[in-house]
Amino acid sequence: MSKIWLIIQREYLTRVRKKSFIVMTLLTPLLLAAFMVLPALLVSMSDETETVMVLDESGLIADKLEDKKDLKFIPLAGSLEQAKTVYQETENTALLYIPRMTIDDPRGITIYSRKNTSLQTQVRLENALEKVIESQRFMASGIDRETLDKIEADIKLTTINLSDKGERDNNAIITSIAGVAGAVIIYFFIFMYGVQIMRGVIEEKTSRIVEVMISSVKPFQLMMGKIIGIAAVGLTQFLLWIVLSFVVVTGVSAAFGIDAAPSPTQQFAAGQAAAVGEDVEGLETDEAAASAVDDDGTEMLTDMSRAIANLNFPLILGCFLFYFLGGYLLYGSLFGAIGAAVDNETDTQQFMFPITIPLIISFIMSYTLVLKNPDGPVSFWMSIIPFTSPIVMMVRVPFGVPAWELLLSMALLVLGFVFTTWIAARIYRVGILMYGKKINYKELSKWLFYRV
């Protein structure tokens, strides 16, 4: 036991002290921070007020257009040619030209601008014009806007799970995010660190240290020590990433005076609110519009936070850790066996293939089929079979999985891990002392039953 511990220590320390590890660990949160902060910075920079000059020859619209926080209208008079000259002398964004027309046939409205009009500006102007014209038409047909607003229905579905544990609110988006995030992390962890195990074994083999090592320790101890040591490296890295990301993002946000790193949900809510707000705006007054935005935004936010609060965090976190380690151990020992079977990294391809296939399939399935139907038969079987369960079950867990399925899946994962480790250990003990031989599957299968 103390020997395994020594091996774990060595594997851990040599990796953690490597420059590449330190650089990766420090750089990733910085990149993450950059990704989060940069767009916010850019948006805040481009958020200047747009001023649009309006030449309304029909006289129907110009006085109905409402100024908004970042979109102002300046009515003009005179001919189009004059208006163009006036516009050219200003710094204004665009010139909106409304020709002589009727409410029933609004055609020929044109935007003139020096630069290309952005899509955003165009859409906002179109929206504003539509509102004005619609209201005019309502008035013409005897309906006023207020009545219409009363008639309009705004439905939001609240989904509630009726399970044994009683009712609880559910929000598919939040649940999906929680599940897929866990699955993605597990997927990358298995790949990144599985390959590290393989490389480590190949390194020991090519540097010929392995014969010295296994005259001191059992091959199984050497393999397990490496697998556990590298797992510890991975956990360390993720932990550091979480802590550093938090520190960096908060720090940068504070420094740039941006609202403290908006969480994805907040961003989402804000986005929704903005979209809704734009829609509601129109003939209503600024305050009304603003309050509408606030109302919808807060409702959305409370929805989100309620959904987040309703996620079973201890369960999700527990499952994450279990499948994280279980999946890593299951695949890690196989990666180790591949490393032992080959002489150099270029020979690994043919053996990597059958290992990566179930991983990739479960990864793709997890955000397509499984998300769409977390309780369907495909999701069920994939979350039970050990080779796909670490990723697929992680997606399902936030949606709620019957206890027996979870227990079965976990038990099978443990069995699967024991099984792959048994296979890997048998390939490993033969492979690490085998040099210069071209290995194929037939050869490998013989190794399983060698007496060593």
Partner 1 sequence: MSILKIESVTKTYANHTALNNVSFEIPAGCIFGLLGPNGAGKTSLIRIITQITGADSGKIYFKGERLRPEHIKDMGYLPEERGLYKKMKVGEQLLYLAQLKGLSKSEATARIKEWVDRFEIRDWLGKNIEDLSKGMQQKVQFIATVLHQPSLIILDEPFSGFDPINANLIKDEILRLREKGATIIFSTHRMESVEELCDNIALINRSQKVLDGPVNEIKDTYKTDTYQVIGDGHLMVTSPDFEVLEQHENHGIFRANIRLLNNTRPNDLLRYLIQRVEIHSFVELVPSINDIFIRKVKETHHV
**Residue that has been written with the tokens 């059992």 in this structure:** 218
Half-sphere exposure in the Cβ direction for 421 (13 Å, CA):
21
CB of 436 to partner 1, least distance (A): 12
Structure tokens at 302: 């409370």
Interface positions, 208-267, toward partner 1 (CB under 8 A): 208-218
Give 76's strand partners. 55
Q: Which is nearer to partner 1, 150 or 451 (CB)?
A: 451
CB of 211 to partner 1, least distance (A): 4
Instruction: Using only the alpha carbons of the chain, give its radius of gyration.
Output: 31
Which string of DSSP letters, residue by residue, matches 286-354? Answer: HHHHHHHHHHHHHHHHHHHHHHHHHS-HHHHHHHHHHHHHHHHHHHHHHHHHHHHH-SSGGGGHHHHHH
Q: Which is nearer to partner 1, 12 or 187 (CB)?
A: 12
The binding track of 175-204 with respect to partner 1, each residue x by CB under 8 A or -, is: ----------------------------xx
Q: Which is nearer to partner 1, 156 or 451 (CB)?
A: 451
CB of 439 to partner 1, least distance (A): 13
Q: Which amino acid is at 29?
A: P
The span of 1-9, 80-88, 258-266, 389-397 binding partner 1 (CB under 8 A) equals: 1-9
CB of 212 to partner 1, least distance (A): 6
Which string of DSSP letters, residue by residue, matches 41-106? Answer: HHHHHH-PPEEEEEEESSSSSGGGPPPBTTEEEEEE-S-HHHHHHHHHHS--SEEEEE-S-BTTB-
- Does residue 168 contact residue 308 with C-beta atoms inside 8 Å? no
Given candidates 372, 433, 441, 445, which one binds partner 1 under the rule CB under 8 A? 433
Q: What CA–CA distance (Å, rounded) separates 269 from 43?
A: 17
- Listed in sequence order, the DSSP H helices in 257-282 are 264-280
Which string of DSSP letters, residue by residue, matches 376-420? Answer: SHHHHHHHHSTTTHHHHHHHHGGG---HHHHHHHHHHHHHHHHHH
CA distances from 176 to 170, 302, 322 (A): 11, 18, 19
CB of 215 to partner 1, least distance (A): 4
> Is 207 one of the binding residues for partner 1 (CB under 8 A)?
yes
Q: How far is CA 339 from the centre of its chain?
A: 32
Q: Which is nearer to partner 1, 32 or 213 (CB)?
A: 213
Q: Which is nearer to partner 1, 34 or 213 (CB)?
A: 213
- Does residue 399 contact residue 369 with C-beta atoms inside 8 Å? no
Q: Which is nearer to partner 1, 57 or 443 (CB)?
A: 443
Burial class, 213, CB count within 10 angstroms (exposed 0-12 / middle 13-18 / buried 19+): middle
Q: Which is nearer to partner 1, 14 or 90 (CB)?
A: 14
Q: Which is nearer to partner 1, 353 or 449 (CB)?
A: 449
> Is 437 one of the binding residues for partner 1 (CB under 8 A)?
no
Q: What CA–CA distance (Å, rounded) separates 209 from 355?
A: 27
CB of 434 to partner 1, least distance (A): 10
> Is 24 one of the binding residues for partner 1 (CB under 8 A)?
no
The span of 4-12, 175-183, 282-290, 293-301 binding partner 1 (CB under 8 A) equals: 4-12
The binding track of 350-379 with respect to partner 1, each residue x by CB under 8 A or -, is: ------------------------------
The binding track of 151-180 with respect to partner 1, each residue x by CB under 8 A or -, is: ------------------------------
> Is 3 one of the binding residues for partner 1 (CB under 8 A)?
yes
CB of 435 to partner 1, least distance (A): 8
- With contacts defined by CB under 8 A, how many residues of the chain interact with partner 1? 23
The span of 6-14, 183-191, 291-299, 329-337 binding partner 1 (CB under 8 A) equals: 6-14
CB of 451 to partner 1, least distance (A): 7
Structure tokens at 170: 């559910």
- For partner 1, the binding residues (CB under 8 A) are 3, 6-7, 10, 14, 203-204, 207-218, 433, 446, 451-452
